[in-house]
Amino acid sequence: MSKPPQKRLYIKTYGCQMNVYDSERMADVLRPLGYALTDQPDDADLVVLNTCHIREKAADKVYSELGRIRRIKEIRAEAGRSTRIAVAGCVAQAEGEEIMRRAPVVDLVIGPQSYHRLPELIARTSRQLGERLAADFQPEDKFDRLPEERTVHGYSAFLTVQEGCDKFCTFCVVPYTRGAEFSRGPEAIEAEARRLADQGVREVTLLGQNVNAYMKEQDGGGLAALVRRLAKVPDLDRIRYTTSHPRDMDEALISAHAEVEALMPYLHLPVQAGSDRVLKAMNRGHTALHYLRLVEKIRAARPDIALSGDFIVGFPGESEADFEETLEVVREARYASAFSFKYSRRPGTPAAAMPGQVAEEVKAERLQRLQGLLEEQRQAFNRAMAGRTVPVLFERPGRYQGQIVGRSPYLQAVHAEAPERLLGQIVPVRISGAGSNSLAGSVELEAA
Ligand code: SAH
Ligand code: SF4
Ligand code: F3S
């Protein structure tokens, strides 16, 4: 059989880790068609923008990027080279029709549940045939039909186990862009994890918009059982998962944190806000106290856990007193890292139509105060590492000669002067100090 001619694929990824996973899988789907990845859009025969709709700014980026890509397409056309442009991801799902209208340069629009159909859709566009918009909502098809083969680089990989969301927080577009909660079967996940381990991957991060809702409705023990199952895969030494919802943080998962060595002591557990009134208006389904008790329970099981979270300031109706309750929750919960955002009004979500929208300056001022506090906590967490010895999975060469970089169990970046042969290995490192974004340490000699 003759090999198909080499074509170049450029994928730009926005948004969350699930999009990162999806982008890798799109590359896997297109590889048999002769597409090889490039990081230069002007080299690309096919450009895919894998988009995010979560906040207004994220969605706007797509249109400005399309303007840039259009100019590249024109320049390439002058040289007699064609360029196909696809918009994928959550903006595609939410605004597919509008993209087609606003950006005629786009050849095809494809939602997150339809990536297995990319080859077929590309074939159609090349023959100028009808369907250019695929926005199915059947994740079962997606996972069953994506190729088994994955090409991964490096020692840490994402693995999507759950998609979609049934929680309908009133600010959020995800239930509309990703559809209802769906869990992949544990056999398929384990098979994928084994193939990753065979390619040298030592750490997997299990992904889902509500990853701890995994298999909630079915028998099988939920995420805790999946973690225990994957902990047995040879050479897969570290397991992480993200993102969790406080409502789905069950006893079994908390016990897994106490008992499963491979499960890393890091937990991304967004609270969003600290005022019960605001939490109710957000439809979060938990109070501040419920959240704090949960954190206490998790710390009782795994005292050193690094807690991470997401916050929204300036949700409609949020008063100064409400906001101060958010600061109070942060002080009590103590975060090792966090993401915080100004509330962004998303068309079609209930909160967009709520009274009491908060002025931009007020949001900006609250965000600054919140981020100040979160940053203090992050630095305190990092400083407390000095003098400790922790296992580090070394992943890549550092910026300076002779330096390599990896991750601590708590997901901190750690630099050390050490030989590159330690890449892909988990090695004890004595932490000497904390910089602004990473730790420095030295490899314990007897281990190297
Ligand atoms: N499923 C996850 C998070 C998904 S979105 C969860 O429930 O925690 C990631 C984060 O974006 C959210 O946690 C929230 O903090 C933020 N976010 C979502 N919608 C937003 C909006 N309309 N404005 C500002 N931030 C938003
Ligand atoms: Fe969005 Fe809430 Fe679902 Fe998270 S739980 S994805 S914030 S609706
Ligand atoms: Fe964005 Fe979609 Fe992820 S809206 S955050 S890319 S699920």
Q: Indicate if the pLDDT at residue 127 is higher than 90.
A: no
Q: Do residue 162 and residue 288 come from a single domain? A: yes
**In-domain check, residue 2:** no
pLDDT in tens, 296-312: 999 999 999 999 999 99
Looking at the fold, whether 112 and 148 belong to one and the same domain comes out as no
Q: Kindly list the protein residues whose Cβ atom lies closer than 6 A to any atom of ligand 2.
A: 165, 167-169, 172, 174-175, 209-210, 245
Question: How far does the centroid of ligand 3 lie from the alpha carbon of residue 110, in Å?
Answer: 14
Taking only the tens place, the pLDDT of each residue in 77-102 is 999 999 999 999 999 999 999 998 99
Report whether residue 172 contacts ligand 1, using a CB cutoff of 6 Å.
yes
Q: Do the beta carbons of residue 190 and residue 234 sit within 8 Å?
A: no
Q: Are residues 329 and 207 in the same domain?
A: yes
Please name the residues in contact with 98: beta carbons below 8 A apart, sequence gap of 6 or more: none
Task: Check whether residue 189 and residue 87 sit in a common domain.
Answer: no
DSSP 115: G
Domain boundary among 121, 136, 151: 136
Residue 149 has a pLDDT of 80
Residues 331 and 415 in one domain: no
* Best residue among 57, 162, 283, 310 to mutate for probing ligand 1, ranked by most atoms within 8 Å of CB: 310
Same domain, 34 and 175: no
pLDDT in tens, 231-273: 999 999 999 999 999 999 999 999 999 999 999 999 999 999 9
Total tally of structural domains belonging to the chain: 3
Residue 408: half-sphere exposure toward Cβ, Cα within 13 Å: 30
- 348 and 219 fall within a common domain: yes
CA 360 / ligand 1 centre spacing (Å):
18
The CA–CA distances, whole Å, from 25 to 19, 28, 50, 115, 147 equal 10, 5, 12, 8, 8
Kindly report the number of other CB atoms within 10 A of residue 80's CB atom.
6
The answer on 333 and 216 residing in a single domain is yes
Residue 428 has pLDDT above 90, yes or no: yes
Query: What is the domain-level CATH number for residue 332?
Result: 3.80.30.20
Whether 448 is covered by a domain: the verdict is no
**354 within a domain of the structure (yes/no):** yes
CA gap 403, 384 in Å, rounded = 23
202-214 pLDDT, tens per residue? 999 999 999 999 9
Tell me the per-residue pLDDT of 19-46, one tens digit each, with 9 for 90 and over: 999 999 999 999 988 999 999 999 999 9
Whether 128 and 193 map to the same domain: the answer is: no
E strands, 144-200, are 156-160, 162-163, 182-183
Atom of ligand 3 nearest to the CA of 178: 7
Ligand 2 nearest-atom number relative to CA 272: 7
- The CA 29 to ligand 2 mean position distance, Å, reads 28
CB atoms within 10 A of CB 265: 18
Q: Of 120, 136, 152, which one is at a domain's C-terminal end?
A: 136
Ligand 2, atom nearest to 166 Cα: 3
Q: Checking DSSP bridges between strand 108-110 and strand 7-13, what pairing results, if any?
A: unpaired
Q: Round to the nearest angstrom and report the end-to-end CA distance of the chain.
A: 47
pLDDT at 396: 96
- Kindly state the DSSP code that residue 359 receives in the 8-state scheme: P
Instruction: Give the pLDDT of residue 436.
Output: 84
Indicate whether 120 pLDDT > 60.
yes
pLDDT tens-digit readout, 275-331: 999 999 999 999 999 999 999 999 999 999 999 999 999 999 999 999 999 999 999
Q: Is residue 353 part of a domain?
A: yes
User: Token pair of 10, please?
Assistant: 């450029």
Q: Is the peptide bond before 205 cis (omega within 30 degrees of 0)?
A: no
Q: What pLDDT is recorded for position 360?
A: 97
Are residues 132 and 146 both part of a single domain? no
State the residue range of the domain holding 160: 141-383
Neighbours of 153 (CB within 10 A): 11
116 in the same domain as 15: yes
Residue 424 lies in a domain: yes
How would residue 4 be classed by pLDDT, with cut points 50, 70 and 90? low
Average pLDDT, the chain: 93
Which residues 6+ apart lie within 8 Å of 259 measured at CB? none
Strand segments, DSSP code E, in 237-387 are 238-242, 266-268, 306-313, 337-342
Amino acid at the residue 343: Y
**The last residue of a domain, from among 136, 162, 191:** 136
Supply the pLDDT for residue 331. Answer: 98
Report which ligand 2 atom has the smallest distance to the Cα of 245. 5
Q: For 146-180, write each residue's pLDDT tens digit.
A: 888 888 889 999 999 999 999 999 999 999 999 99
- Return the CATH number at 82: 3.40.50.12160
Residues 211 and 70 in one domain: no
For residue 448, pLDDT over 60 is answered with no
> Is residue 1 domain-resident?
no
Within 10 angstroms of residue 133's Cβ, the number of other Cβ atoms is 18
User: What 3-state class would DSSP assign to 106?
Assistant: coil
pLDDT at residue 2, as a whole number? 55
State residue 6's pLDDT score.
Answer: 86
pLDDT, residue 131, reads 57
Neighbours of 83 (CB within 10 A): 23
391-426 as b/e, with b when 16 or more CB fall inside 10 Å?
bbbbbeebeeeeebbbbbbbbbbbbbebeeebbbbb
Alpha-helical regions (H) of 42-88: 56-78
Q: Would you state the structure tokens that stand for residue 308, as one six-digit string?
A: 């991470």
Q: Side chain identity at 113, as an amino acid letter? A: Q
Closest ligand 1 atom to the C-alpha of 270?
8
Exposure b/e, 23-44, CB count within 10 A at least 16 = b: bbbbbbbbeeeebebbeebbeb
Return the pLDDT at 129.
Answer: 43
User: What pLDDT was estimated at residue 152?
Assistant: 84
Query: How, if at all, do strands 306-313 and 337-342 pair?
Result: parallel
**Measured CA distances, 213 to 78, 102, 161, 188, 320 (Å):** 51, 37, 10, 18, 33
- In a domain, residue 154? The reply is yes
What ligand has the least distance to the C-alpha of 308? Answer: 1
Task: Determine the 3-state secondary structure of 387 from DSSP.
Answer: coil
> Is the link from the previous residue into 243 a cis peptide, with omega within 30 of 0?
yes
DSSP 283: T
